[in-house]
Amino acid sequence: MANTRDIRRRIKSVKNTAQITKAMQMVAASKMRKAQQAAMAGHPYSLVLNRVLVSLRDMVSADSHPLLDVRPVKKTLVLLVTSDKGLCGALNTNVLREAMLLEQEKTLFVASGKKGASFLARTGRNMIADFALPDNPTFLQTKAISKFCLEKFLSGEVDRVDVLYPKFVNTLVQKPLLVTLLPITDDKAAGVSPSGGEQLIMNATATTGAQFLFEPDADEVLNSVLPYFFHFEVFQMILDARASEQSARMVAMKSATDNAKSLVKDLTLEYNKARQASITTELLEITTAQMALA
Distance, CA of 182 to chain centre: 21
Q: How many residues does the chain have?
A: 294
Q: How far is Cα 45 from Cα 215, in angstroms, rounded to an integer?
A: 21
Question: Residues near 205 by Cβ (< 8 Å), separated by ≥ 6?
Answer: none
Which phi and psi (to 5°) does residue 112 adopt? Answer: -125, 100
Distance, CA of 84 to chain centre: 10
Q: How far is Cα 233 from Cα 32, in angstroms, rounded to an integer?
A: 21
Q: How far is Cα 92 from Cα 245, in angstroms, rounded to an integer?
A: 9
Strands 160-168, 174-185: pairing kind: antiparallel
Which member of 14, 18, 88, 127 is catalytic? 88
Q: How far is Cα 241 from Cα 176, in angstroms, rounded to an integer?
A: 10
Residues 178/162, Cβ–Cβ less than 8 Å: yes
For residue 165, what is the enclosing H or E element?
strand 160-168
Q: How far is Cα 150 from Cα 199, in angstroms, rounded to an integer?
A: 17
Q: How far is Cα 269 from Cα 291, in angstroms, rounded to an integer?
A: 33
Respond yes or no: is residue 149 known to be catalytic: no
Residues with active-site annotation: 88
